[in-house]
Amino acid sequence: MRQRPMWAAAMTLAMLLPLVATDSRAQGTDASMKLKVGDTAPEFKLQYFDGHDLKDVKLSDYHGKKNVVVAFYIFAFTGG
């Protein structure tokens, strides 16, 4: 009976460790990233709503004109 909490704690730790490891890797380097610094950014065409119409935006619209920050975020109405 007394061994059970220990066992549960060990299991919990074992399950959490990979999560912690994955998280720290994501913070530090870009080893988990498909695209690396120096790669050509894939072309995209996406839309946004300006209040009246849906507007197209292509990455290539900015080639030779501007740098582009593409900021992926998880969902609207969340922080960050």
Partner 1 sequence: MKAFQQNLQKLEAADTQVLGVSMDSPFANKAFADQIGVTFPLLSDWGGDVTREYGVYVDKYKAARRINFLIGKDGKILEEQLDREAIDPTKIVDACERKKLNR
Would you tell me which residues interact with partner 1 (CB under 8 A)?
26-27, 30, 33-42, 44, 46-51, 54-55, 57, 59-60, 62-77, 79-80
The residue among 2 and 39 lying less far from partner 1, judged by its C-beta, is: 39
For residue 53, the minimal CB distance to partner 1 (Å) is 10
CA distance 80 to 70: 14
The residue among 9 and 20 lying less far from partner 1, judged by its C-beta, is: 20
41, 35 in Cβ contact below 8 A?
yes
Tell me which residue of 30, 31, 61 sits closest to 45, measured CA to CA. Answer: 61
